[in-house]
Chains A and B, each alone.
Chain A
Amino acid sequence: MPAQESYPDDLKYHPEHDWARLDGEEAVLGITWFAQDALGELVHFEAPDAGATVTKDEPYGEVESVKAVSDVVSPLSGEVLEVNQKAVDEPETVNEDPYGEGWLVRIRMSQPNEVDALMDAAAYRAHVAAEQ
């Protein structure tokens, strides 16, 4: 079942509809409810390799629905520590639980101060409302 629309308060958001959950020097990244809803049922996550470098505002992977392909933009710079294999094997997990089991990658941040440029949930909700 697709998830209900939500934008949790404990996350940071990038305008390209990506989120980051901060944990010390590390961050977990994923796509927002809005992004998965716009794409529809995901059928493929083209993931980066562990050890790859990701750069803020640059694509680090792709998600695909039956009809469309979309870059996944990194909200932060760093090194990929882990890829969520469940999102690779069962991409529909991203639709069902975009902020939980449907996370995409875990990174070690190289520029932690980049966090300051991200939106909080209230700002992101306003951003989403402006796109509709």
Chain B
Amino acid sequence: MEATLKRTPLYARHVALGARMVPFAGWEMPVQYEGVIPEHKAVRAECGAFDVSHMGQLHVDGPTAQSFLQEMLSNDVDRVRDGEAQYTLLTNEQGGIVDDLIVYRFAHGQFLLVVNASNRSAVYEWLKEREPRGTEVRDASDEYALVAVQGPRSLERLGLPEAPAFTHAMGELDGVEVLICRTGYTGEKGVELCCGEDDGPALWDAVLARGAVPCGLGARDTLRLEVCYPLHGNDITPETDAISAGLRWACELEKDFTGVEVLREIAASGPRLRLVPFVMEEKAIPRQGMPVEGGGEVTSGTHSPMLDRGIGMAYVPAERAAPDTELVVDVRGKPRRARVVKKPIYRKES
């Protein structure tokens, strides 16, 4: 098994830093360096760096690329201008979610999709099979290193100017040519820096030298769950739809795209189940797969370092999805009380 795991261009850096390496989506990735909790808190307070080079990058280019993406993706690609980015979903005929991704537009007919590592080939094959004349889909994932730098002081530490979220530009960081994207998966201000794979270690070194704390996938998961960003494979899957998942905002139901009829119906009649964030009212940590009393299931659960209590997301019957509704989670046979909350679970005091 281990021999088949892929390694990012930063693998040797992680080992040298004493990271605990684990298998994730076919990759050997750092789950933590110093510890999940200090890394999580570093991102909330200051600035942390994550190797996310395992994520997939697909170029979609050509004169028909935009109309093709408009048919394939749930959000309105026509609203994305050069230098902008958009969160969107690749949907199937049943309205299920093949992947959630970010589409970047560089110029007319020139797009980049950044997709989940675990779905890289599924997304590539899905698009390649449907690729029309005048569009070329190309998997360039192995050509790039991707480093996320996240936290309230991230831009300041990197010496980057403020820029609106979901914009991107080419730039340079300490001699490394990078695509600077104002995106992330932590709920904090920050950037994702994309460079050629050979420049990855130099970029990583530069970011750490500027004071970013190296962070693993463990903190990435607790950070995203505190702000209720769904994780594909847990909270959203090819069997779950965007409306039930609370992602209607990422769907342009007025346009035609794969599965839109199903989504329109669910939106009109109201979903049977809804994905809700919750916090535990008793000492217990919810985990993926735990049943919720009265129907439903936990799709993500962890210990929140900021709230110091168990938190999670679960699909529950729609009539029990309102904030403040009490839930009972079956924690390995023990009923434990939880409460539905508004998104996000953690909000910074201003």
When distances are taken between beta carbons in the complex, the residues of chain A under 8 Å from B31 are: 67
When distances are taken between beta carbons in the complex, the residues of chain B under 8 Å from A40 are: 20, 32, 35-36, 218
When distances are taken between beta carbons in the complex, the residues of chain A under 8 Å from B35 are: 2, 40-41
A69-B222 in contact given A40-B32, A40-B35, A41-B36 (Cβ < 8 Å): no
Q: Is the pair B303, A43 in contact by a Cβ cutoff of 8 Å?
A: yes
A41-B284 in contact given A64-B303, A66-B222, A66-B302 (Cβ < 8 Å): no
User: Contact flags (1/0) for A37-53 with B, using CB distance below 8 Å?
Assistant: 00011011010000000
Cα separation A2 to B32 with both chains bound (whole Å)? 14
Q: Is the pair B287, A66 in contact by a Cβ cutoff of 8 Å?
A: no
Tier of interface size on chain A: 10 to 19
When distances are taken between beta carbons in the complex, the residues of chain B under 8 Å from A46 are: 284
Cα separation A123 to B259 with both chains bound (whole Å)? 62
Q: Is the pair B283, A44 in contact by a Cβ cutoff of 8 Å?
A: yes
Q: Is the pair B218, A67 in contact by a Cβ cutoff of 8 Å?
A: yes
Shortest distance between the CB of A14 and any CB in chain B (Å):
22
Number of A-B contacts (CB under 8 A): 37
User: Contact flags (1/0) for B19-33 with A, using CB distance below 8 Å?
Assistant: 010000000000110
B37 interfacial contact with A, CB 8 Å:
yes
Contact of B303 among A2, A62, A66, A88 (CB under 8 A): A66
When distances are taken between beta carbons in the complex, the residues of chain B under 8 Å from A44 are: 283-285, 303, 310
Cα separation A66 to B87 with both chains bound (whole Å)? 28
Q: Is the pair B287, A69 in contact by a Cβ cutoff of 8 Å?
A: yes
When distances are taken between beta carbons in the complex, the residues of chain A under 8 Å from B303 are: 43-44, 64, 66
Q: Is the pair A66, B218 in contact by a Cβ cutoff of 8 Å?
A: yes
Shortest distance between the CB of B159 and any CB in chain A (Å):
32
Cα separation A40 to B35 with both chains bound (whole Å)? 7
Within 8 A of A (CB), among B305-323: 305, 310
Shortest distance between the CB of B301 and any CB in chain A (Å):
11
Residue of A nearest to B32 (CB): A40
Q: Which of B222, B285, B287 is the most central at the interface, judged by chain A CB atoms within 10 Å of its CB? A: B285
Shortest distance between the CB of A103 and any CB in chain B (Å):
19
Q: Is the pair A41, B283 in contact by a Cβ cutoff of 8 Å?
A: no
Cα separation A69 to B310 with both chains bound (whole Å)? 13
When distances are taken between beta carbons in the complex, the residues of chain A under 8 Å from B283 are: 44, 88
A43-B285 in contact given A64-B303, A66-B302 (Cβ < 8 Å): yes
Shortest distance between the CB of A125 and any CB in chain B (Å):
22
User: Contact flags (1/0) for A100-126 with B, using CB distance below 8 Å?
Assistant: 000000000000000000000000000
When distances are taken between beta carbons in the complex, the residues of chain B under 8 Å from A41 are: 35-37
Cα separation A82 to B285 with both chains bound (whole Å)? 23
A67-B36 in contact given A43-B303, A44-B303 (Cβ < 8 Å): yes
Within 8 A of A (CB), among B1-56: 20, 31-32, 35-37
- Return 14 A-B CB contacts under 8 Å, by A number: A2-B35, A40-B36, A41-B35, A41-B37, A43-B303, A44-B310, A64-B285, A66-B36, A66-B222, A66-B305, A67-B31, A69-B285, A69-B287, A69-B332
Cβ-closest 8 pairs across A and B: A43-B303, A66-B36, A41-B35, A66-B303, A64-B285, A41-B37, A44-B285, A67-B218
Residue positions of A touching B, CB distance < 8 A = 2, 40-41, 43-44, 46, 62, 64-67, 69, 88
Residue positions of B touching A, CB distance < 8 A = 20, 31-32, 35-37, 218, 222, 283-285, 287, 302-303, 305, 310, 332
Extra contacts besides A43-B285, A66-B37, A69-B285 (20): CB < 8 Å = A2-B35, A40-B20, A40-B32, A40-B218, A41-B35, A41-B36, A43-B37, A44-B285, A44-B310, A62-B332, A64-B285, A64-B303, A65-B36, A66-B218, A67-B36, A67-B218, A67-B302, A69-B287, A69-B332, A88-B283
